Amino acid sequence: MSARVVVIAGGLSPERDVSIRSGRRVAEDLRDAGFEAEVRDVDATLLPDLIADPPACAFPLVHGVAGEDGSLQEALQSIGLAFVGSGAHACRRSFDKAIAGALLADAGIAVPESIALPQSMFRDLGAPVLLAAITDQLGFPLVVKPNRGGSALGVSVVREAEELPAAMVAAFAYGEVVLIQRFIEGTEVAVAITENDDGCHAMPVVEIVADSGLYDYSARYTAGTTEFFTPARLTDEVLAAAAATAIQAHGVLGLRDWSRSDLMVDEAGTVWFLEVNVAPGMTETSLVPQAIAASPTDVTSVLADLVARATSRTPRES
């Protein structure tokens, strides 16, 4: 009988629909790879069912807070079920963009200068004076984003001071802490990493050219609004640097099995780290499927390798 994999998708984040699409697609591909696969949402029946009838492993594909901040992983670890992807601790430090950025900057990776502050600090110290101090330090243009978010929800580019308050409100709609970051002008790329027994491997670098300039929610999930080039139209040297950055980020953050780093490459060829995703999108228009399509392997063998790794380790490893 073939091994059974429970793909966990949905959840209650604003990225619920994207996650469901990712989950359905991965389940189909797992079936093509010879597994028995079902998609389950995060609800009160999930853990009892996983305990009563444990699958070979779970495949968490819930995007956003509960799926990528380590909470779901913590729950799976607590019931002793093996799962694909990073453990709870690594998810937690990666999902918080300020913490991940600080750890990677300490490791020598270029991370855009940023300031992370909770809404309460603006209330206590007074928003105008604090915003003036921040913009004095960082200058314009800036990117304002939720410190813990995804799918570019609540992300704005701010080119002048007048636009800043509205951008802050938009970001605070998604969480208590906002990250204000220097805008990097250049080429946006994403690099997917997979791990096998020989170590980490970077997939072909995907270049993203959004019509609007910002790879925002509609640019991501509306077909035809964004152009992709795989491999990215960069020199071999810069492609290698982007791959090396994603591999280093995966290692420094203690990630496992797979991840996708979002990067910017400036005119000088410097590779800047934006963020890393522990449960990357797997929809038709998502970046990892595009990277796999441009690689010598195919999605069924990538997924089969991920499942094989998950099922071969002690479930509570984190």
Ligand X SMILES: Nc1ncnc2c1ncn2[C@@H]1O[C@H](COP(=O)(O)OP(=O)(O)O)[C@@H](O)[C@H]1O
Catalytic residues: 15, 151, 221, 260, 262, 275, 277, 281
Among 215, 221, 258, 273, the residue binding ligand X under the rule CB under 6 A is: 215
The residue behind tokens 């600090």 is: 121
As a whole number of angstroms, the distance between CA 183 and CA 33 comes to 42
- Residue 72 CB neighbours (<10 A): 25
d(CA 173, CA 179): 13
**Which residues of 61-137 form beta strands (DSSP E)?**
114-118
Segment contacting Mg ion (CB under 5 A): 38-46, 47-55, 97-105, 261-269?
261-269
| Residue 265 bridge partners (DSSP) | 187, 271
DSSP, collapsed to helix, strand or coil, labels residue 14 as coil
Residue with Cβ nearer Mg ion (39 or 203) = 203
Query: Which partner, ligand X, Mg ion, none, binds residue 68 by CB below 5 to 8 Å per kind?
Result: none
For residue 177, give the DSSP letter: E
For tokens 């918080």, what's the residue? 96
The pair of structure tokens assigned to 212 is: 């609007």
* Binder of residue 183, out of Mg ion, ligand X, none (CB less than 5 to 8 A by kind): ligand X
Closer of 39 and 167 to ligand X (Cβ): 167
> Which 129-188 positions form the footprint of Mg ion (CB under 5 A)?
none
Which window, 41-49, 141-149, 291-299, 303-311, contacts ligand X (CB under 6 A)?
141-149
280 binds, among ligand X, Mg ion, none (CB under 5 to 8 A by kind): none
Indicate whether 57 belongs to the interface with ligand X (CB under 6 A).
no
Chain mean position to CA 287: 11
**Least distance (Å) from ligand X to the CB of residue 196?**
26
Q: Work out the burial of residue 102: count CB atoms within 10 Å of its CB; fewer than 13 is exposed, 13-18 middle, 19 or more buried.
A: middle
* Minimum CB distance to Mg ion, residue 10 (Å): 20
Out of 68, 69, 207, 262, the only residue in the binding site for Mg ion (CB under 5 A) is 262
Mask of contacts with ligand X, 68-107, x by CB under 6 A?
A: ----------------------------------------
List CB contacts of 43: < 8 A, sequence separation 6 or more. none
Torsion of CA 297, 301, 303, 305, to 10 degrees: -110
181 binds, among ligand X, Mg ion, none (CB under 5 to 8 A by kind): ligand X
| Binding flag, residue 242, ligand X (CB under 6 A) | no
Site for ligand X in 5-24 (CB under 6 A): none
Cross-strand pairs, 191 = 261
**Beta strand spans in the chain (E):** 4-8, 36-40, 57-60, 114-118, 142-146, 156-158, 177-182, 187-196, 199-202, 206-210, 226-229, 258-265, 271-277
Q: Least distance (Å) from ligand X to the CB of residue 312?
A: 30
User: Which residues 158-197 are close enough to bind ligand X by CB under 6 A?
Assistant: 181, 183-184, 188
User: Which of 60, 150, 280, 289 is the binder for ligand X (CB under 6 A)?
Assistant: 150
Residues at the interface with Mg ion (CB under 5 A): 262
Residues at the interface with ligand X (CB under 6 A): 112, 143, 145, 149-152, 155, 181, 183-184, 188, 214-215, 262, 264, 274-275
